Structure 1
Amino acid sequence: MSKFWELEEVPLKRHLNPKEKAFEAHFINHTLRLESGRFSVSFPLKDLPDCLGESYTLAKNRLLTLEKRFRKQLDVKLQYINFIREYEELGHLTESTISKPNPSYFLCHHAVFKNSSESTKIRVVFDGSAPTSSGHSINDILMVGPNLQDSLFSILIRARQHKYLLTGDVKKMYRQNRNMQLILWREDESLPIKTLILNTVTYYGMASSSYLSTRCLWQLGEECSDE
């Protein structure tokens, strides 16, 4: 019976614990609104990046393994190339002038396919949990942050208060520290391997991205009126 009543209770307002309060304070103190209207955020690190070891070797081995797959699946290679090119065209990545910055973290990456997607069938996922030579990964030193989304109950009740309901999907929402988001890439095995910098928040594989993007949306709502 107690479980039944717990399920039927109206959700109470959530209070942040000390770690979540620290994340919120970090966001407030390290987030800027650019002239373009976009938010510039900083990774909420709970430890110094010096604890990260060497990650280049693993990232290179993963790339070489990926290229073996490309030899057998040319269609996957083409889609992968197009995905990385789009990143570059949008300014979401640039080539680094230093092949192995220090400190740095090289993200391993692979493809995930979603045939039901109307926009992008292929998605490149970046592995922020791949351990470096010290045993630590970038996700190990990132704060995750609290869940800012309302409960499903609250969302449904609020939706029923209006005559019309609009929903939408923010395209390429999760893409803004630079040397902590490096990848290795080349379009063909005959070319030299390049170090690329991801310039925007990487959702696919980074522990703090969900909070950072949702918190930016919340901040946008605070700064903008309904007019």
Structure 2
Amino acid sequence: MVIGSDITPQILVQGLHHNVCGTLMTQNTIFGWILSGPIAEKISTFFTCVTESQNDSLNSLLRKFWEQEEVSTEKTLSEDDKRCEKLYRSTTIRQAEGCYMVKLPFKEGVPDKIALGHSRLGAQLQYLSIERSLEKRPELKHKYAEVLDEYLAMDHMAPTSSREVINEGKYFSFYLPHHAVLKPDSKTTKVRVVFNASKNSHSGNSLNDALPTGPVLQNDLMLIIQVCF
């Protein structure tokens, strides 16, 4: 190993012996002992041995450190997540026109433990409120109607019965209230219809309460964003 003289003070540690073999001096360093001084006899060979220090305790601590800091690539799924994934795999179908159809993954206990109540009246009252507001804004009313007509044309929604689905006193239907969201700066969709599945039914539970959230499908942004300083 050849090092510059500017590095020498950084590698020296305590330990110095004079008059080794008469003319040499030994100095301890972080790499081991070094010899310096004039040589009286001709040296034909020179050996340097380096051994690795076996420190199981240190190796174990380093291994644990890196294992704890290592980001796991495996996703841990809850029982609800597994049920959602299984349901989507077994029930998702593609119709002839290319649209996908899938069942809603209701939580275990619906409708016995998590019961929905009547929701039509609440949704109707919100609709009437929106209708009064749209009457004052003809342009918005026209755009809102265009969006809903598009949903009908694309079979994203269809006319249904005005009666709620009830069996043995349990509700198996839910009316989704909706409202408009305006984005004047948007180049594509300036008016968007938002359906509110968090609106409570008469039982105090909403449609969202009866459905699991499902697993997170996107990668964690903190793991893929590189911060530069």
TM-score computed with the length of structure 2 as normaliser: 0.59
1:18-59 per-position Cα deviation (integer Å, ceiling 9, x unaligned): 221121112122222334443221000004257111111101
Which of the numbers 56, 80, 89 marks the counterpart of 2:120? 56
Structure 2 match to 1:84: 148
1:106-139 per-position Cα deviation (integer Å, ceiling 9, x unaligned): 1111000112322110001001010111111110
Tell me, yes or no, if structure 1 residue 123 matches structure 2 residue 192.
yes
1:12-161 matches, cutoff 5 A:
12-46=73-107, 47-49=109-111, 51-96=115-160, 98-102=161-165, 103-152=172-221
**Which structure exhibits the higher relative contact order, with contacts defined as CA atoms closer than 8 Å and separated by 6 or more residues?**
1
Is contact 1:70-1:77 (8 Å) kept? yes
SS for the counterpart of 1:125 is strand
1:85 Cα deviation from its structure 2 partner: 0.8
Structure 2 CA distance for aligned equivalents of residues 14 and 55 of structure 1: 37
1:13 Cα deviation from its structure 2 partner: 2.7
Is contact 1:113-1:122 (8 Å) kept? yes
Is contact 1:32-1:39 (8 Å) kept? yes
Gaps of 5+ in 2: 1-65, 166-171
1:56-79 per-position Cα deviation (integer Å, ceiling 9, x unaligned): 110111011111211221111111
Question: Judging changes above 3 Å, is the alpha-carbon distance between structure 1 residues 153 and 134 closer, same or farther for their aligned structure 2 residues?
Answer: closer
Is contact 1:16-1:146 (8 Å) kept? yes
Structure 1 CA distance for aligned equivalents of residues 196 and 131 of structure 2: 17
1:99 Cα deviation from its structure 2 partner: 1.3
Is contact 1:11-1:151 (8 Å) kept? no
1:124-161 per-position Cα deviation (integer Å, ceiling 9, x unaligned): 1001010111111110000110111123467679xxxx
Structure 1 CA distance for aligned equivalents of residues 79 and 156 of structure 2: 33
TM-score computed with the length of structure 1 as normaliser: 0.59
* Higher-helix-fraction structure: 1
SS for the counterpart of 1:94 is coil
Letter in structure 1 aligned against 2:131: E
Is contact 2:118-2:164 (8 Å) kept? no
* Higher-strand-fraction structure: 2
Structure 1 CA distance for aligned equivalents of residues 100 and 152 of structure 2: 19
Structure 1 CA distance for aligned equivalents of residues 118 and 126 of structure 2: 14
Letter in structure 1 aligned against 2:137: Q
Q: Percent identity among equivalent residues?
A: 37
